Every structure is written in C-alpha cells, then in structure tokens.
Structure 1
Amino acid sequence: MTTTMRKEIAEQPAAIQATLDALLPRTGEITALAEGTRHVLFIARGTSDNAAVYGRYLIETRAGRLTALGAPSVATAYRRRLDLDGVLAVGLSQSGRTEEIVDTLRWARDCGARTIAITNGGESSPLAQAADLALCTLAGEERAVPATKTYTTQLVALAVLAIGLGADVDPGELRRVPEAVAALIEDPGDIGAVVDGLAGKAGLVVSGRGLVYSTALELALKLKEACYLHAIGLSYADLLHGPIAVVDADTPAILVAAGEGPVLAGTVALARRVRDAGASVYAIGGGEELAGAATAALRGPELPEWLAPLGLIVPGQLLTEALARRLGIDPDAPRGLRKVTQTG
C-alpha cells in the first residue's frame, strides 16, 4: 500500500517548481518592505520553527543580517511589549491558521515591526491577512499529518526571502532544486539498510551543523512524530559538549551534511569518532567522504551548501515513511497529532 505521506513526498518537485515560479519574481517587494530594517525575527512553531532555523543561518551567513527565533509566549502569555523598530518579523505557519503565530505576528506589527507571512494557507488565511506582505507557497493540500511538501516549499520561500534581503548567492541556482529533489526521490540510497539498523532501536541522535542544522532538527521531529522514536536533534557542536555520551551500540546517530562547505570536515570526523565508540552511524549527504565513514549512507542533493537543506530532508522523509511502515505505524496519522496544532 502506498501511503499518503509517500505520495506527498513524490509531489515535492512540482510543488517546489510552482512555488519558485510564484515567489522568485517578488524579491523586489521584499527588498522594498525591508528597507530601513536591520534585524529579522522569525515567529514559528514545530516544523515551521525548523524551517526558520534554515532561514536564520542563510540570512546571517549570506545576507549579513542578525536574526533571531522569536518566543511567541512573550506576546501571547506574558503580553510584554517590545521595541521592534527596525525589525522585519517573519511569521511561518503551513496552514496560516495557528492562532498563536497569527497573534504574535500582529503583536510584532503593533510593536513597530514590518511583517511578512510565509504560509501554504493562501492569501485569505489569517496569517497572510495579518502581514504587510504574504509569501504564499504552492504545495497544494497536504493530508498526511507529517509535513513534507509544505516544509520544503517553506524553505524555498526562505531562500527567496534571503535573496530579497541581499544575500550573496546566485538566484539562478534555485532553478536546480526541483530536478535535484526528483533525483533523490528516484534514488535516495540504501534506505533498507538504514531501516534495518534503526528498526530495533528506541532512540537515536540526529546531528548536523550550520545550514543543515535545520535538517537535523526536522528529521528528528519526523522520527518522533511518525515512528515514535526518542530522536534528539542536535548541532554537532552541541553534541560534542556532552550529549555524545548517549551515543552507543543501542543509540545510533544519523549525521547530515552538504557535499561542501566549512562544516563537512567536522561532520566526517564526528562520524569516525562515533563509529570508534562502537555505535552505528548513518549518513545523509556529505559525499563520498562521509559515506565512507558511515555504517550506511543515503544520498545528498547535487546542490550548493546554501540550498542543500532543500534536498537533504527528502531521503530523511523517505526513511521516516519506510521505518514507520516497518514498525507497523500508519505514518499518515500518527497518534495524538492533528494537522493544525493550536497552543494555549
């Protein structure tokens, strides 16, 4: 049986292409709205918060703007007013209907920020209506509870946002993403070997650094949601500061890396250290060097580091869906979860 999650994973190249076609021509609107702002504040929860981590690293490393991940509770629970003059606040919600995110974006505007919404909910969604500018993704309806195509199209919107903020990147490289994602869906690598290695485990660590840290967080979340694993998403810098002690023969690691960039060598060194400690290491991306240091490996995208997260999550999504089925879990409707989460 083909799950809805698996069907929606396969829809990602078309969803990414449609979102690119809609949003790339709008970078000028972003530039105009952001004129006079210095900082970027992301407002999100869950999968959208993981996407925001990508936006944070991309904008800081390529656009030279300080960014922060906002705490919605400051607005909705503590009801504190802050001086947000000079801030560009970006609210992310796949549905555009998460009340906490909508309320926090309105709060940011009332505190002096200029506001952008990133949502798959369309221009009529509450989040889009609350923003000065809405960047609406075109993933289409997503019926499986674990987000797949809505997440990757959020990353596209964040890449477009970074371009609008003056990122030192080649916008034309974004056009390579749909094909790169399609190639990974067609041949992600040895999914079966990784499923075999994880099927009997209660927990694992998922780690990456820099631009791909977002991928580690998102994959860990997916494995929690759909496979009920105790999955910890960590930067490998944080992992080395103590939590590496939890990695052993019963707790494997998944390491995520782009095929280039300043953190690749450290990821390879970590893979060797973990294997020397007697634990299994599963790689996603990182090229031949990381694959050679791993117990088994999944492919990464043929994309530059700044776009690698748009592809790296795809083998992780396929792994999550396959592992859930191996464990006898329906990945389309994990227990205790709904498509739109409201927080008090």
Structure 2
Amino acid sequence: MTTKMRSEIGEQPAALRATLDALVPRVDEVRALARDTRQLLFIARGTSDNAAVYGRYLIEAHAGRMSSLAAPSIATTYKRKLDLSGVLAVALSQSGRTEEIVETLVWAKACGASTVAVTNGGEDSPLAQAADLALCTLAGEEKAVPATKTYTTQLAALAVLALGLDADVNADDLQRVPDAVERLIADPGDVDAVVEGLAEVAGVVVSGRGLAFSTALEAALKLKEACYLHAMGLSYADLLHGPIAVVDERTPALLVASGEGPTLQGTVALARRVTGAGASAFGIGGGAELATASTAALNGPSLPEWVAPMGLIVPAQLLTESLARRRGIDPDSPRGLNKVTQTD
C-alpha cells in the first residue's frame, strides 16, 4: 500500500513547477516592497522554521542583507514593542492559519516592518490577508502530517524572494529544480542500506553546514516525527564543539552537503572522522567525494549550491517514509501530531 507521504513526495516536481510559474513573475513586487528595507526577520515554527533557516543563509550569503529568526514569544507572550523600521518581516506557515505566526506578523507590521507571507493556505488565509505581499505556494492539499511538498515549495518561494532582493545568483537555476527533484525521486541512491543502518538504533546525528544546514534540521525533524528517532540536527561546526562525542557504533551520523560550495570539504572530512572512529556515516548529496567517504549514501541533485536544498531534502523524505514503515510506524499519522499546530 502506498502511503500518503510517499504519494506527496512524488507530487513535488509538479508542485514546484506550478509554484515557480506563479511566483517568478512577481519578483518586481518583492523588489518594490523591499526597496526601503535593510534587513530581514523570518517568523516561523516547525518545518517552516527550517525553511526560514534556508532563507536566512540564502539572503545573507547572496543578497548581502543581515537576516535573523524571530522569537514569536516576544510578540505573543512578552508583548514587547520593538523598532522594526527598515525591516522586511517574512512569515512562513504552510496552512496560513497558525495563530501565533499571524499574530507575530501583525505585531511586526505595527512595529514598522514591511511584511511578506509565504503560505500554501491561499490568498484568503489569515496570514496572507495580514501581509503587505503574499507569496502563495501551489503545492495542493497535503494530507500526510509530515510536510514534504509544502516544504520544498516554501524553499522555492524564498528563492524567488532572494531574486527580488537582487541576490547574486543565476535566476535560470530555479527552472532546473523540478527536473532535478524528479530524477532524485526516480533514483535516490541506496535507501535500503541507509534504512537498515538506522532500523535498530535509538538516535542519529544529522549534520550539514551553510545552505545545507536547513536540510539537516528538516531531515532530523522528519526522522523524529515520523520514525520516533532521537535525531539531533546540528551544523557540523557545532557538532565538532562537543556533541560529536555521542557518535559511536550505536549512534550513526547522517551528513548532508551539496555537490559544490565551501562546506563540502568539511562534510567529507567529518564523514572520514566518523567512519575512522568505527561509527557509520550516511551521506546525502556531496557528490562522489562524500559517497566514497560514507558507509552508504543517498544521491544529491545536480544543482548549484543556492538551490540545492530543494533537492537535498528529497532523499531524506524518501528515507524517512521507508524507515517509518520498516519500524512499523504509519508515517502519515505520527502519534500526538496534527496537520496544523497551534502554539500560544
């Protein structure tokens, strides 16, 4: 029986094409709204927060604007007013109905920020209605609790945002993403070997750096919520500052990297260190170098680093779905979770 999660993973190329077709023509709207701003503030929770990490690295690395992640409790619990003049506040919510995120975006606007919503909830969602500009993704209804197509289309919307901020990237790279994702779904690499390597363990360290850090966080979240693993998502820089002590023969590492970029060699070196200590290192992406240094590997996309996270997460999604079934868990309906999470 095909799970809803597996079906929705397969829908991602079409969802990405539809989203890019809708949003790329709106780059000038982003540029106009952002003209008088100097920095960005990302507002999100959960999977959307991981997407925001991608947005932060992308904007700082390629658009040259300082970016940060909001603490929504400053708005909703402490009710503290800040000076957000010159700030572009970007709120992400797949449903567009998470009250805390809507409230925080309204607060940001009242504090002087220009506001953008990124949501799959449509133009009529509360988040879209609250924003100066709504970038609505076109992933379609997502029925499985673990987000897949709504996450990758969020990344696509953030890539469009970067274009509107005049990022030093090739806009044509975006059009290559849906085909690259389609190829990864057809050939994700040695999923079975990685599933067997994780089937009996209680925990795993998931690590990447830079633009791939968002993928490491999202992969760890998926393994936690759908496979009930104690999955720790870390930058490999932070991992080396102590937590690497937990990596051993009972706690493997899942290491993520694009096939190019300044963080690749550090990820390869980390894989060699892990396997040299007698533990298992499973690679995602990183080309032949990371695959050779790893115990087993999943494929990555043939994409430039700035758009690679839209492809890198796909093998991790397929791994999560397969591992959940291997562990006797229904990945569509993890215990204790709902599709829309409300926080105060």
Within-5 A mapping of 1:190-201: 190-201=190-201
Partners of 1:10 and 1:270 in 2: how far apart?
Answer: 31
1:77 — aligned with what? 77
Deviation at 1:33?
0.3
Give runs of aligned pairs for residues 230-241 of structure 1, distance below 5 A. 230-241=230-241
What is the aligned-residue identity percentage?
A: 76
The answer for the alignment partner of 1:127 in structure 2 is: 127
Where does residue 15 of structure 1 map in the other structure? 15
Secondary structure, aligned partner of 2:222? helix
Residue in structure 1 matched with residue 28 of structure 2 by the alignment = 28
SS of alignment partner, residue 255 of structure 2: strand
Deviation at 1:36, TM superposition (A): 1.0
Corresponding residue for 2:64? 64
| Residue 189 (structure 2) aligns with | 189
| CA deviation after TM superposition for structure 1 residue 227, in Å | 0.2
| Cα shift readout 1:73-108 (whole Å, capped 9, x = no counterpart) | 000000000000000000000000000000000000
Shift in Å, 1:277: 1.0
Residue aligning to 1:98: 98
Distance in 2 separating the partners of 1:277 and 1:308? 29
Instruction: Give the letter aligned to residue 110 of structure 1.
Output: A
Tell me how far apart the structure 2 counterparts of residues 57 and 343 of structure 1 sit (CA, whole Å): 26
The 3-state SS of whatever aligns with 1:307 is coil
Q: What stretches of structure 2 of length at least 5 have no aligned partner?
A: none
Q: Distance in 2 between matches of 1:278 and 1:238?
A: 21
Aligned to 1:164: 164
Equivalent position of 1:219 in the other structure: 219
Aligned residue for 1:257? 257
CA distance in 1, matches of 2:313, 2:35: 33
**1:307 aligned partner:** 307
Displacement after TM superposition at 1:268 (Å): 0.4
Residue 109 of structure 1 aligns with which residue?
Answer: 109
Structure 1: how far apart are the matches of 2:315 and 2:289?
18
Distance in 1 of aligned mates of 2:298 and 2:205: 16
TM-superposed CA distance for 1:44, in Å, is 0.1
Which residue is equivalent to 1:46? Answer: 46
Q: What amino acid sits opposite 1:66 in the alignment?
A: M
Give, in whole Å, the separation in 1 of the partners of 2:307 and 2:32: 24
**Helix, strand or coil at the partner of 1:91:** strand
Deviation at 1:42, TM superposition (A): 0.1
Name the CA distance, whole Å, in 2 between partners of 1:277 and 1:94.
41
Deviation per CA, 1:265-310, whole angstroms, max 9, x where unpaired?
0000000001111110000000001000000000000100001100
Report the alpha carbon displacement of residue 237 of structure 1 after superposing the two structures with TM. Answer: 0.2
How far residue 164 of structure 1 moved from its aligned partner, in angstroms, is 0.2
SS in 2 for 1:23: helix
- Distance (whole Å) between structure 2 residues aligned to residue 201 and residue 2 of structure 1: 25
Once the two structures are TM-superposed, the CA of residue 69 in structure 1 deviates from its matched residue by 0.2
Q: Distance in 1 between matches of 2:108 and 2:278?
A: 49
CA distance in 2, matches of 1:76, 1:298: 41
Task: Find the aligned partners of 1:88 and 1:257 in 2 and give their Cα distance.
Answer: 29
2-structure distance, mates of 1:277, 1:53: 31
* Amino acid paired to 2:213: Y
What amino acid is the match of 1:26? Answer: R
Work out the CA distance in 1 between the residues paired with 2:286 and 2:318. Answer: 18
**1:150 Cα deviation after fit:** 0.0
The one-letter code sitting in structure 2 at the alignment partner of 1:134 is: A
Alpha-carbon displacement from aligned partner over 1:217-252 (angstroms, at most 9, x marks no partner): 000000000000000000000000000000000000
Aligned partner of 2:286 in structure 1 is 286
Q: Secondary structure at the match of 1:205?
A: strand
Aligned partner of 1:324 in structure 2 is: 324
Distance (whole Å) between structure 1 residues aligned to residue 50 and residue 67 of structure 2: 14
> Cα deviation per residue 1:130-152 (whole Å; 9 max; x = unaligned)?
00000000000000000000000
Is 1:88 the counterpart of 2:88? The answer is yes
Secondary structure at the residue paired with 1:305? Answer: coil
1:159 Cα shift? 0.2
TM-score normalized with structure 2 length: 1.00
AA in 2 matched with 1:25? P
Instruction: Give the whole-Å Cα distance in 1 for the aligned partners of 2:265 and 2:331.
Output: 34
| Cα RMSD, aligned residues only | 0.3
Amino acid at match of 1:100: E
Distance 1:263 1:173 in 2: 20
- The size of the alignment, in residue pairs, is 344
- Extract unaligned runs of 5+ from structure 1: none
**1:306 aligned counterpart, secondary structure:** coil
Partners of 2:110 and 2:290 in 1: CA distance: 48
Q: Which AA in structure 2 matches 1:343?
A: T
- Aligned-partner residue type, residue 13 of structure 2: P
* SS of residue matched to 2:297: strand
Please give the alpha-carbon distance, in whole angstroms, between the structure 1 residues aligned to 2:273 and 2:123: 49
Instruction: Report SS of the residue matched to 1:315.
Output: helix
